Amino acid sequence: MAESYDVIIIGSGPGGYVAAIRAAQLGLKTAIVEREHMGGICLNWGCIPTKALLRSAEVLDHANHFKDFGLVLEGTVKPDAKAVVGRSRAVSARLNAGVGFLMKKNKIDIIWGEGKLTKPGEIVVGKSSKPVVEPQHPLPKNVKGEGIYTAKHIIIATGARPRALPGIEPDGKLIWTYFEALKPDALPKSLIVMGSGAIGIEFASFYRSMGVDVTVVEVMPTIMPVEDAEITAIARKQLEKRGLKIFTSAKVTKVEKGAGSITAHVETSDGKVQQITADRMISAVGVQGNIENLGLEALGIKTDRGCVVADGYGKTNVAGIYAIGDVAGPPMLAHKAEHEGVVCIEKIAGLPHVHPTDKGKVPGCTYCNPQVASVGLTEAKAKELGRDIRVGRFSFAANGKAIALGEDQGMVKVIFDKKTGELLGAHMVGAEVTELIQGFVVAMNLETTEEELMHTIFPHPTVSETMKEAVLDAYGRVLNA
């Protein structure tokens, strides 16, 4: 007899494991299927370990500017690649174990293997094709294994993987994905980063801080193309000041591999081709959903551009089958996946007043140096939609706390609807803006107007004061500029 559940979730990434916990909280008998490591890409190969690397880079950057703060540092501070990577993997392992603990605490069954939908309400779990290979990520104890399992509701939360360009496929040696970039045996002397989205620009920033000669190649006219162009222009200026070489409106047309190096043929917008040679290349040209071998085709589950089609509650076109997180399409962000998981489960449980996920209110954060964060419409998008807008800006150079911190290069930009005072978008570049952006996310979620923001008291001295000043600037009332 097949074991039966109320909910089975395929994938234990941020969307999957959070959905499982919420389901258990609501009294639903829940199981989660995982084939490789608890916590998914985010905890093991994405969000968390990259931030650990970037923290090492940040500390090193500060150490190299001790004199700016009137301090004397005896000797030389230099990176130890093995130790930096070791710390990152240890952080990942700690959180990986934490997810296993949360499953046990909430009485959620773990089924180890690869799940495949055979019909609505049923999945077959086979042997994993991806055995755990890292000693710091041991297989959880007391897990269930291969077999047939049934559930009233099945949630697909299988995440995504790096996308590859034909002819420039990663080989794990000379051409890396983020997997190899997270665990270099040694730091390369030079590096080409193909793609300047969040993943590409974060690795470019990290490796540059480590002393690597970094070149970024981006096919779009600006780096971080989904962000506001004015914000990314400031970020680019600061990144180039740190020594990064950046090509935009350019593409890698082919690569030539040497014994220990790679040469990229880079075609620029004027049709000219440059040959750039480096020790390694990172392919960061996006990700694609893990939709293969799930049985989607047999059940007639709709997909689009490599992702499962789902509504704001995670429902697919097949009753009882849901999809959340990266596999359900952009924005492919861990916090979006978590929120979708909670919304999906609460809808399944029949809770009243469950709101569908509003992707327009999902913040985006890029943890390069300087950081970039945003929520809502860019100025260009607002104009494209025909919105009559007011735009406010405030520079970190006019903020006392930023100057005291030695972090006076940055800006906050806000976009309001001129008629209603609705906050349409907020965009930031500078120190710790990934922590500040949530203030505007809350404001948008509460449908806060410009008047309410103007009457909010911000503590002084803080970098957060730039947020209020930007709002004031949009209405001609800026005080400190």
Q: Is 431 one of the annotated binding-site residues?
A: no
The yes-or-no verdict on residue 136 having pLDDT over 60 is no
Q: Is 218 one of the annotated binding-site residues?
A: yes
| pLDDT at position 85 | 94
Q: Is 389 one of the annotated binding-site residues?
A: no
Say what the pTM is: 0.95
| pLDDT at position 97 | 87
Catalytic residue among 37, 153, 353, 460: 460
Confirm if 149 and 254 have CB atoms less than 8 A apart.
no
Q: In what order do the strands lie in the sheet with 389-395?
A: 364-366, 371-376, 423-430, 411-417, 389-395
Q: Is 404 one of the annotated binding-site residues?
A: no
Q: Is 51 one of the annotated binding-site residues?
A: yes
| pLDDT at position 45 | 87
Q: In what order do the strands lie in the sheet with 251-257?
A: 251-257, 262-267, 273-278
39: DSSP letter: T
Which range, of 9-18, 84-93, 306-315, averages the lowest pLDDT? 84-93
Tell me how far apart the alpha carbons of residues 289 and 377 are, in angstroms, rounded to a whole number. Answer: 25
Confirm whether 460 is a catalytic residue.
yes
The yes-or-no verdict on residue 134 having pLDDT over 60 is no
pLDDT band at 172 (very low <50, low <70, confident <90, very high): very high
Q: Is 428 one of the annotated binding-site residues?
A: no
The yes-or-no verdict on residue 133 having pLDDT over 80 is no
Confirm if 373 and 452 have CB atoms less than 8 A apart.
no
Question: pLDDT tens, 358-403?
Answer: 999 999 999 999 999 999 999 999 999 999 999 999 999 999 999 9
| pLDDT at position 357 | 97
Phi then psi for residue 90, to 5 deg, are -65, -40
Calculate the CA dihedral of residues 435, 437, 443, 445 and round it to 10 degrees: -100
> At CA 349, angle to CA 153 and CA 361, rounded to 5?
95
| pLDDT at position 138 | 65
For β-strands 147-156 and 122-126, DSSP reports them as antiparallel
97 Cβ contact partners less than 8 Å away, ≥ 6 residues apart: none
| pLDDT at position 74 | 84
The yes-or-no verdict on residue 465 having pLDDT over 90 is yes
